[in-house]
Amino acid sequence: MLMTNLESVPGRTIVRHLGLVQGSTVRAKNIGRDIMAGLKNLVGGELKGYTELLQEARQEALERLTQQAAEVGANAVLNVRFTTSSVAQGAAELLAYGTAVELD
């Protein structure tokens, strides 16, 4: 599955538009990481635990996006975008969406 946040793929033409596809996941932080983050909040700096948590979550959102795109028979997703929203205290939703297309 080819993914890009551009509106076209160089050297390929779009044969069919298959509509919007999306993948999302809601994640809560865990206590172990929270304690470390609490300490880090005192001295500042990168919160590696959270960076990893969000990266894993975003990867999962992308996998779901890929899966949905494959279901509609696409071989590429164009104009991919990410958004994040906090659903509740300590939980975040990560959404990836894009346009599924069939390229020649």
Partner 1 sequence: MYELGILLILLTVGYIFGRIAEQRHYRSIIRREAAFRRIPVFATRHLPDDLEPGVRTTLVTGSVVISVDYFKRFLAGLRMLIGGRLKSYESLIDRARREAVLRLQDQARRKGGNRVFNVKFETASISKGAKNTVGSVEVLAYGTAVIPPHRSTAE
Given 35, 51, 71, 87, the residue binding partner 1 (CB under 8 A): 51
Supply 12's token pair.
Answer: 């390929």
Q: In DSSP terms, which residues pair with 94 in a beta bridge?
A: 25, 84
To partner 1, the closest distance from the beta carbon of 4 in angstroms equals 5
Rounded least distance, CB 57 to partner 1, Å: 10
Region label for 11, one of left (φ > 0), alpha (ψ between -120 and 50) or beta (otherwise): left
Binding residues vs partner 1 (CB under 8 A): 2-11, 37, 40-48, 50-51, 54-55, 58, 80-86, 89, 92
